[in-house]
Structure 1
Amino acid sequence: MLITFKSKAYPNVLMYQEHAKRILDLLNKDPERGVITAAEAPKAVALLEHEIDESRKHQATDEVEQDVKAHAGDGEDADHEPIEVVSFSTRAYPLLEMLRAARDQGTDILWGV
């Protein structure tokens, strides 16, 4: 399921609910429907920037590669494309930019409405 974040300060941001949930949990917000007010935006930016910095310190290890190899088998489908892991910071970046714009322009961010 997709969540559409809306703000007058920035173009709409679409995220899968499973990816947005981590961010919304961090901000103590409901994934179904909610608002980040202009007053909350500075704290939300700081929290999300901190979480992104922490996630970069703990990048995915070779466990992902091991998991793919374990499930690949030795059949003709054993040659897979290179593994491309999408990091938390990459997924969070559009919403972070929206939060920054909302903070700077004093507008709210809404979703689920």
Structure 2
Amino acid sequence: MLITFKSKAAADVVMYESHAKPILDLLHKDIQRGVITAAESGDAISLLEKQIVNSKSHEAAEALERDVHAHHNANGDDHGHEKIEPVTFSARAYPLLDMLREARKGNYDVLWGV
């Protein structure tokens, strides 16, 4: 299912529900329908920025582990594998974070599920 975030401050941001859920859980918001008011946007931005910094500190270790598993499969073969390129939390959260920043500047709310 898709979640569409809307605000008068920016173009719509569309995410799969499974990708939006960790972000909305962090903000203590319901996945189905909700609002981040202009008054709440400052706190929401701070929480997202902090989580992005935290997630980036773990990305290097996770990338190394994925690389080791990709290069050393059960047969000991180091060839014929595809490089895994996961989409990070920061990449998924950035469009909504950008929308929240613009919404805060214009004193607008961010809504979804409406």
Sort the TM-score into its range (normalised by shorter chain). 0.7 to 0.9
Corresponding residue of 1:85:
86
TM-score by length of 2: 0.85
Read off the aligned partner of 1:41 and give its amino acid letter.
Answer: S
Matched, 1:101 2:102: yes
Deviation sequence 1:8-49 (CA, Å, 0-9, x none): 000000111111111101111000000000000011001100
Shift of 1:79: 2.0
Instruction: Structure 1 unaligned segments of length 5 or more: list them.
Output: none
Deviation sequence 1:31-84 (CA, Å, 0-9, x none): 0000000000011001100000010111124333455568x766xxx7233221
2:66 to 61, 64, 67: 64
Instruction: Structure 2 unaligned segments of length 5 or more: list them.
Output: none
What's the secondary structure of 1:86's corresponding residue? coil
TM-score by length of 1: 0.86
Read off the aligned partner of 1:52 and give its amino acid letter.
Answer: I
Structure 1 ranges of 4+ moved more than 6 A: none
Name the count of aligned residue pairs: 109
CA RMSD in angstroms comes to 1.8
Equivalent-residue separation in structure 2 for 1:94 and 1:54 (angstroms): 18
Read off the aligned partner of 2:7 and give its amino acid letter.
Answer: S
